[in-house]
Amino acid sequence: METAQDYYRRHGPMSAPGSGAAELRGLPRDIGSLCEIVQGVLIHRDLAPWLYDLKLSNEERDVANLRSVAAMVSYVEALDNHPLTKRREPNLRMPSICRHFAILLCSALREQGVPARTRCGFGRYFTPGRFEDHWVAEYWDVSQEKWVLVDAQLDAVQRKAYKLDFNPLDVPHDRFIIAGDAWQMCRTGRADPELFGLSFINEQGSWWIAQNLIRDLAALNRVEMLAWDVWGMMPKPTTKVTSVELELLDQIAELTLAVDVSLAQLQEIYRDERLRVPKTIFNASRQAQETIAI
């Protein structure tokens, strides 16, 4: 039987680096150096004007709709053809969101033979009292024999701005809340779902947690979608979730929190057409249907 470590050593359609494979494989192998490289070629599009004094055009912001690492690396190299190890100035980095930082780190680790996966959930370290929509990476640390969460987005500028009190190379599970944990916390009354979402656009609620839960399920099946890609039974703000769907979401939450012992079940439930990423999805950022290569 295939282990989780074996499964997450291999790429999916989004993490495969294409022509960038050899370069990713040759990058430094310590997590800190890899995160610095990722931070040197990507810039969070929403933080650019606030923390990096960089105003992006609508066209530049739209670059964050690139999904695959192969496309990301091609874009980065088209902006600046130096090796990825050369830290770019902010205006020469790819406009991105948290998901891009996570998947680029994940891709580099997989290319180096290290089990890695992206996780979709919520960060508690951005806005006091809120659980903000966020993605991180998770890799298998052989020395500790456990999975470790890494926030590759948090460079020195952001660490200072957010006054972090933890190491982004080993994010505690009570600071980054995996979507399955968030779902269970709210289902059992331990947390208020109205605190989960994206506060700067004033959207939050159980529907957002459910969407992230399905995105996390897809990512654990090595299909790492954009944070605003919508498909299948993902609820909308006005959707009334049925009791059958609630039971299914409860099951997904349980499976996504026990990946190492439930990989086969995780893969089986993902075959459900209500959950599996189809060839055509709705891009909520562009407000358009898009056909994707998966």
Q: What would the mean pLDDT of 22-40 be, rounded to a whole number?
A: 98
* Confidence at 126, pLDDT banded by 50, 70, 90: very high
Predicted pLDDT of residue 268 = 98
Indicate the average pLDDT of the chain.
Answer: 97
* Bridge partners for 141 per DSSP: 146
Tokens, residue 258: 């026990």
Tokens, residue 8: 């997450």
pLDDT at 275 over 90: yes
pLDDT at 66 over 90: yes
* Confidence at 293, pLDDT banded by 50, 70, 90: confident
Tokens, residue 78: 């088209």
SS3 content of the chain, % helix, strand, coil (to 5): 40, 15, 40
Predicted pLDDT of residue 117 = 98
* Confidence at 294, pLDDT banded by 50, 70, 90: confident
pLDDT at 1 over 80: no
DSSP string, 159-214: HHHTT--S-TTS--TTTEEEHHHHHHHHHTTSS-GGGEEEGGGTEESHHHHHHHHH
pLDDT at 21 over 80: yes
Q: What would the mean pLDDT of 95-123 be, rounded to a whole number?
A: 98
190: number of CA atoms within 13 Å, CB side? 6
Q: What would the mean pLDDT of 225-235 be, rounded to a whole number?
A: 98
More confident: 293 or 256: 256
Report the percentage of the chain scoring pLDDT > 90: 98
Write out pLDDT tens, residues 154-195: 999 999 999 999 999 999 999 999 999 999 999 999 999 999
